[in-house]
Amino acid sequence: MTTDLIIFILVSIPLIYFSKHVLFNIKSHGFYRFWGWECIAWLFANNYKYWFVDVFSPKQILSWIFLFYGTYLVIAGAILLKKMGNATKVREDNSLYTFEKTTELVETGLYKFIRHPLYGSLIFLAWGIYLKNISSIVMLLLVAIATILFYITAKFDEKECISYFGQKYKDYMKRSRMFIPYLF
């Protein structure tokens, strides 16, 4: 067994464990998120050894920008969700993690500009990891698939949010972008 495969398996075990409640539910955004995470795990397992190689090359600098921006999005997004989302167990949906069971629509801070900072962060993280070593068409396809999976995740999440928040969420969608402020 190669080191890359061992790393992939070691990363996949907790992903499978924490996603077990959605692994067979293709109507849940968590199903697509899990497969996107698996793509990131494979990218990481293949590119970890290039993390600090030629650190001042343009691709490495762009990689670090994506990785830092993705990290900012996930931290800022999670803090705002926890602080403003009023997540409770009252919201009955077994496909959601506890922190996702928000009962208040968060429309301030980062969420004023983008609806999916957590999924956006995963897209930026995937591309940041890919840029560490642009080695093959297979890795390019993998990062493209991860991007598509996180886009699908966001679309399914929006359906769930419309189902829960109704017109308020539809109005919010008109005022915000999915992943990148003012652009997309």
Domain membership flag for residue 57: yes
Low-confidence ranges of the chain (pLDDT < 50): none
Place of tokens 């409640």: 21
Domain membership flag for residue 104: yes
Domain membership flag for residue 182: no
Domain membership flag for residue 181: no
Within a 10 A sphere around the Cβ of 110, how many other Cβ atoms? Answer: 20
Q: How many domains does the chain have?
A: 1
At residue 66, φ and ψ (nearest 5 deg) are -60, -45
pTM to 2 decimals? 0.91
Which of 113, 115, 139 lies closest to 127 in space, CA to CA?
A: 139
Q: What is the pLDDT of residue 1?
A: 62
Q: What is the pLDDT of residue 42?
A: 96
Q: What is the pLDDT of residue 143?
A: 97
